Amino acid sequence: MTGRLPPISSRDSARPDRADMRGNRGPIIVLGDSFFGAMTMQRLLSRDTALACTSGIGMLPLCEQAAISWLHVEHRDEPLSQLAIASIRAMTDSLIITVLSGTGNKRWCEVASAHPRGAEVFLQLYPGAKFICMHRSCLDVIAAAVRTNPWGLADSIFRSFAIGYPGNSVAAVAAYWITRSEAILDFERAHPAASHRVRFEDLVGSPARVRDEISSFLELSQEDSWAGPCVVGDAFGESGEDEDAASGRVPPDMVPPQLRTRLDELLQVIGYPPMPAPGPLLS
Amino acid sequence: MSRLPLAIPCSRAVNHPVRAADGRAEPAFVLCGGRSGSTLLRFLLDAHPDLACPPETNLPVMAGQLATVWSLIAGAPLSSERGDEPPVIPAEAIRGVRRTLDEMTGSYLQRRGRKRYCDKSLGTARFADLLLRIYPESKFLCLYRHPMDVIASGIEACPWGLQGYGFDSYIAATPGNAVWALARFWLDNAAAILAVEEQYADSCHRVRYEDLVADPEGVADGIFRFLGVASAPGISAQCFAPGRERFGPADYKIWHTSRISADSVGRGWSVPAGMIPPPATQQINEFAERLGYVPVDDMWGTAVVPSDMRLTASSRTRPAAASRPEPSPHAALVGDRLTAGLSGIDRMFARRWGSCAAESFTIVVLPAAGDGDVGESLWRIDLAARSLTLVARSVHDADEKNDTGWDIVGSADAWHAVIAGRTNLGVALRRCELRYCEAGESAPLVADTRIAMLSDLLTLAGARQHPSPPGQAVRPELVPGLQ
């Protein structure tokens, strides 16, 4: 979708809360779920006194669904019409303003675990929006997902992938990782200026550096700077981001060859080592 | 699960047993499903000087295949379904199968210097009719284990997905729900074994895993008497001596075990019973009752772990712990955190959590392992009144209704891990180490909000990073589905 935003009326421009959502002060979206370190990122961002952080409120799926509905209603393909964009934005504005007014903060930040398709629409609504794209080693995601869901993946974000790989949670989560990573990488490539890549390992390994990079990318003002020293150590323990991820115990043999090839390609793009070679399973 | 057909009704009165020429006793078969303690039983059998019980041979499956082939060669009528066993297995085929099996088992017995062959293969119950035709004097040891412990054991054995042990077809039918898959696995196995017990009572001897680990010498003695071999005092220790056959599949833990222990009994208490649909739970409980096991009810996992998974007189009349308002050390730790949290409640807390900030709820701390008959510790929190009350509850009072709208229940160990920051609250809930329970049904996001509020109240990791004023975050820990 490549539709352009309609011009903002002078009446709208007079509203300071709307002005805050344009240009460099646009909304912030963290693309990723807790298994990718998104909650740790949220905690880091919520140290900024200007940000009102939410997670999983469903804004991106809402935008995506609204866009689909408008395309149907107007019997047209992409891009969205100006009317559609204005209508959807009016809806999302009211939600965002409600969040901001509830907290007294200036800028909204959402952790979105939904598919990045919704991010494309959101960017049309808010061209000044910034996207932090979270990545994490596949083996760590698998280990965290399995540890968090010992009874099965049915009641989780991995559900649809579990159906394809019954009895093999490793493969199911690996397939999920591939799908998400591909989508996020596609988004990064399509919108390099609006997106900033963060690897979870860098976030917990060099939090100060990552913080500075994020601060620069988000153009956070000095007065809104992060409160206190940057310690992300206690971020461990978040759902799926715990210290017991124990990726070393994940049996690489359980990743089917057809997934392994794609997995290694994506790992290389993101800067991770390839999957370990299959070895004998210990019983 | 179908059974192999018989040419004639399988009653020993009308069977024509074919006895071994050497007069050796006919085999004994263990009827069991995976994760029921069958490897331990095999070790006990194999440790007896007269018995030899190799690792899983799948001999009964082979007998079934042989019988089919032999029947077809003997001109028996074909099954209407291509590939199925023929409807009638003629006596000629039975004799042929027996000769083959005798040759194999005889060779094995000779090599081991033992007198009687025992076989422990998963899914043998399906072949019980056939085995009794081949060996009319054979004996069946019917092994059971509490269903929830089997489920817990299966998941522990297959942390990366249910594979092997006969689980594959079950998880294929309900991918993503290992609990239900294993529940059906247990049901199918229990149904098949119970049916054999019912039909061939004289040939069967019931063994419950829980009895075996509680009294290995006594249970072993009962088995040996049933098999007509001499008692073997001390066999529960001898069975772990070097010399067990190591080829073939077996429980992966047995090679690192040096004694029989009841430690794994009750591990299924953490299994979320809600993942099993009610009709299946009802069926499980029907079988559980027949087997003398505690049922899987609404209280499963939310009260003190039963001291015994068997319905025994002692478990029914377990003495109540004194209702003393004195918390265990772990419960006291939870209380300290709650006290600190309550003292820190301010206007921002109320703003963050809305109407939930005026609710009352209960934190239930179940006794840690080894606490004996100590009852639960209940912390009742009244947020509106900023009050915390300790209520000690005995196991007898477990069915008492709480007067608060919602509870979070967990073992002392689980609470300690969360408070100490070793386990994330969301992960503990997801893994059912802690359980959220509520009276009635609330709006979808209310449970998440309450849990996030508790995290705030206990000042757990994450919540600590959200100081109250100026209230940066809207429900910072509000993560749908605890993801």
pLDDT at residue B332, as a whole number: 86
Residue A169 pLDDT greater than 90, yes or no:
yes
pLDDT at residue B380, as a whole number: 92
Q: What confidence tier does B351 reach under pLDDT thresholds 50, 70, 90?
A: confident
Of residues A184 and B6, the one with the higher pLDDT is A184
Residue B346 within any structural domain of the chain: yes
Residue B308 within any structural domain of the chain: no
pLDDT at residue B49, as a whole number: 95
Q: What confidence tier does A19 reach under pLDDT thresholds 50, 70, 90?
A: very low
Q: Does B168 touch chain A (CB under 8 A)?
A: yes
Neighbours of B113 (CB within 10 A): 9
Q: What is the 3-state secondary structure (H, E, C) of chain B?
A: CCCCCCCCCCCCCCCCCCCCCCCCCCCEEEECCCCCCHHHHHHHHHHCCCEECCCCCCHHHHHHHHHHHHHHHCCCCCCCCCCCCCCCCCHHHHHHHHHHHHHHHHHHHHHHCCCEEEEECCCHHHHHHHHHHHCCCCEEEEEECCHHHHHHHHHHHCCCCCCCCCCHHHHHHCCCCHHHHHHHHHHHHHHHHHHHHHHCHHHEEEEEHHHHHHCHHHHHHHHHHHHCCCCCCCHHHHCCCCCCCCCCCCCCCHHHCCCCCCCCCCHHHHCCHHHCCHHHHHHHHHHHHHHCECCCCCCCCCCCCCCCCECCHHHHCCCCCCCCCCCCHHHHHHHHHHHHHHHCCCHHHHHHHHHHHHCEEEEEEECCCCCCCCCEEEEEEECCCCEEEEEEECHHHCCCCCCCCEEEEEEHHHHHHHHCCCCCHHHHHHCCCEEEEECCCCCCCHHHHHHHHHHHHCCCCCHHHCCCCCCCCCCCCCCHHHC
Q: What angle do CA B219, B223, B227 make, to 5 degrees?
A: 170
Instruction: For chain B, positions 239-268, list CB contacts with chain A under 8 A.
Output: 252
Residue A61 pLDDT greater than 90, yes or no:
yes
Nearest Cα residue in chain A from B168: A167
- What CATH code is carried by the domain that includes residue B391? 3.30.1050.10
pLDDT at residue B1, as a whole number: 43
Own/partner long-range contacts of B348-351 (Cβ < 8 Å, ≥24 apart): B348/B468, B348/B469, B348/B471, B349/B456, B349/B468, B351/B471
Contact A103 B481 (CB under 8 A): no
Q: Is the peptide bond before B295 cis (omega within 30 degrees of 0)?
A: no
Of B449, B382, B463, B383, give the one whose Cα is nearest residue B418.
B463
Q: Does B65 touch chain A (CB under 8 A)?
A: no
Residue A114 pLDDT greater than 90, yes or no:
no
Q: Pick from A220-229, B79-88, B262-271 the range whose average pLDDT is largest.
A: B262-271
**Which residues from A are below 8 Å from B276, CB to CB?**
none
Q: What is the mean pLDDT of residues A257-269?
A: 95
Going A251 to A257 to A259 to A263, the CA torsion angle's sign is: positive
Q: Does A224 touch chain B (CB under 8 A)?
A: no
Residue B161 pLDDT greater than 60, yes or no:
yes
Q: Does B420 touch chain A (CB under 8 A)?
A: no
Counted residue by residue, chain A has a size of 283
Q: What token pair was written down for B148?
A: 């929830």
Instruction: For chain B, positions 194-213, list CB contacts with chain A under 8 A.
Output: none
pLDDT at residue A223, as a whole number: 61
Q: HSE-up of A238 (CA within 13 Å, CB side)?
A: 30
Q: What is the mean pLDDT of residues A107-114?
A: 90
Q: What is the mean pLDDT of residues A88-94?
A: 94
**Which residues from B are below 8 Å from A39, CB to CB?**
462, 479
Going B282 to B290 to B312 to B42, the CA torsion angle's sign is: negative
Residue A233 pLDDT greater than 60, yes or no:
no
Q: Which of B196, B230, B256 is the last residue of a domain?
A: B256
Whether B145 contacts B264, CB under 8 Å:
no
Lowest mean pLDDT among A107-111, B140-144, B226-230: A107-111
% of chain B exceeding 70 in pLDDT: 79
pLDDT at residue B243, as a whole number: 65
A55 membership: H or E segment, kind and range: strand A51-55
Residue B281 within any structural domain of the chain: no
Residue A4 within any structural domain of the chain: no
Phi then psi for residue B103, to 5 deg, are: -60, -45
Residue A242 pLDDT greater than 60, yes or no:
no
pLDDT at residue B430, as a whole number: 83
Q: What is the mean pLDDT of residues B105-114?
A: 94
Q: Which of B256, B287, B310 is the last residue of a domain?
A: B256
The pTM score is 0.80
CB under 8 Å to A14, separation ≥6 — which residues? none
Q: Does B95 touch chain A (CB under 8 A)?
A: no
Residue B369 pLDDT greater than 90, yes or no:
no
Instruction: For chain B, positions 310-329, list CB contacts with chain A under 8 A.
Output: none
Residue A101 within any structural domain of the chain: yes
Q: What is the mean pLDDT of residues A144-157?
A: 90
Whether B153 contacts B37, CB under 8 Å:
no
Of residues B360 and A280, the one with the higher pLDDT is B360
Residue A227 within any structural domain of the chain: yes
**Which residues from B are below 8 Å from A165, CB to CB?**
161, 175
Domain count within chain B: 2
Q: Does A181 touch chain B (CB under 8 A)?
A: no
**Which residues from B are below 8 Å from A152, CB to CB?**
175-179, 181, 275
Q: What is the mean pLDDT of residues A217-232?
A: 66
Q: Does B276 touch chain A (CB under 8 A)?
A: no
Residue A119 within any structural domain of the chain: yes
Residue B84 pLDDT greater than 50, yes or no:
yes
**Which residues from B are below 8 Å from A55, CB to CB?**
476, 478-479
User: Which parts of A89-138 are beta strand (E)?
Assistant: 107-112, 130-135
Q: Does B426 touch chain A (CB under 8 A)?
A: yes
Q: What token pair was written down for B217?
A: 């010498």
Read off the pLDDT of residues B304-347 as tens digits, 9 standing for 90 and up: 778 789 987 555 444 444 445 577 777 888 899 999 999 988 88
pLDDT at residue B402, as a whole number: 60
Best of B155, B177, B271, B424 to substitute, by most chain A Cβ atoms within 10 angstroms, is B424
CB under 8 Å to A22, separation ≥6 — which residues? A8, A126, A128
Q: What is the largest CA-CA distance in chain B?
A: 91
Whole-number Å distance between alpha carbons of B220 and B243: 19
pLDDT at residue B187, as a whole number: 98
- Does B85 lie in the same domain as B229? yes
Residue B387 pLDDT greater than 70, yes or no:
yes
**Which residues from B are below 8 Å from A235, CB to CB?**
461-462
Q: What confidence tier does B13 reach under pLDDT thresholds 50, 70, 90?
A: very low
Tell me how close the Cα of A152 comes to any Cα of chain B, in angstroms. 4
Q: What confidence tier does A139 reach under pLDDT thresholds 50, 70, 90?
A: very high
Residue B458 pLDDT greater than 60, yes or no:
yes
Contact A152 B179 (CB under 8 A): yes
Neighbours of A90 (CB within 10 A): 11
Q: What confidence tier does A55 reach under pLDDT thresholds 50, 70, 90?
A: confident
Phi then psi for residue A106, to 5 deg, are: -100, -25
Residue B462 within any structural domain of the chain: yes
Whether B456 contacts B479, CB under 8 Å:
no
Q: What is the mean pLDDT of residues A212-220?
A: 91
Residue B73 pLDDT greater than 80, yes or no:
yes
Read off the pLDDT of residues A26-44 as tens digits, 9 standing for 90 and up: 999 999 888 998 888 888 8
- Does B34 lie in the same domain as B182? yes
Determine the structural domain holding residue B144 and report its residue range: 28-256
Exposure of A206 by Cβ count < 10 A (0-12 exposed, 13-18 middle, 19+ buried)? middle
Whether B479 contacts B448, CB under 8 Å:
yes
Q: Does B466 touch chain A (CB under 8 A)?
A: yes
pLDDT at residue A50, as a whole number: 84
Contact B427 A113 (CB under 8 A): no
- Does B346 lie in the same domain as B243? no
- Does B245 lie in the same domain as B345? no
- The position carrying tokens 């006969």 is B166
Q: Does A104 touch chain B (CB under 8 A)?
A: yes
Residue B12 within any structural domain of the chain: no
- What CATH code is carried by the domain that includes residue B223? 3.40.50.300
The mean pLDDT of chain B is 82
- Does B360 lie in the same domain as B463? yes
Residue A77 pLDDT greater than 90, yes or no:
no
pLDDT at residue A145, as a whole number: 93
- The position carrying tokens 């200026």 is A193
Domain count within chain A: 1
State how far the alpha carbon of A169 is from the alpha carbons of A95, A139, A146, in Å. 37, 12, 7
- What CATH code is carried by the domain that includes residue A246? 3.40.50.300
Burial code (b: 16+ CB inside 10 Å, e: under 16) for A271-280 equals: ebeebeeeee
Lowest mean pLDDT among A46-55, B188-197, B413-422: A46-55
Determine the structural domain holding residue A65 and report its residue range: 10-270
Residue A234 within any structural domain of the chain: yes
Q: What is the mean pLDDT of residues B375-385?
A: 87
Q: What angle do CA B131, B136, B139 make, to 5 degrees?
A: 70
Q: Is the peptide bond before B470 cis (omega within 30 degrees of 0)?
A: yes
Whether A139 contacts A35, CB under 8 Å:
no
**Which residues from A are below 8 Å from B167, CB to CB?**
167
Tell me how close the Cα of B224 comes to any Cα of chain A, in angstroms. 31
Phi then psi for residue B413, to 5 deg, are: -65, -45
Contact A53 B472 (CB under 8 A): yes
Residue A195 pLDDT greater than 90, yes or no:
yes
**Which residues from A are below 8 Å from B479, CB to CB?**
34, 39, 55-56, 239
Residue B98 pLDDT greater than 90, yes or no:
yes
Q: What token pair was written down for B3?
A: 């059974």
Tell me how close the Cα of B132 comes to any Cα of chain A, in angstroms. 34
Residue A135 within any structural domain of the chain: yes
Q: Does A242 touch chain B (CB under 8 A)?
A: yes
Neighbours of A155 (CB within 10 A): 17
Q: Which of B256, B272, B298 is the last residue of a domain?
A: B256
Instruction: For chain A, positions 34-73, list CB contacts with chain B under 8 A.
Output: 34-35, 39, 42-43, 46-49, 51-56
Tell me how close the Cα of B431 comes to any Cα of chain A, in angstroms. 6
pLDDT at residue B261, as a whole number: 85
Contact B271 A163 (CB under 8 A): no
Q: At what angle do helices A169-190 and A117-125 cross, to 10 degrees?
A: 30
**Which residues from B are below 8 Å from A48, CB to CB?**
472
Contact A240 B177 (CB under 8 A): no
**Which residues from A are below 8 Å from B272, CB to CB?**
151
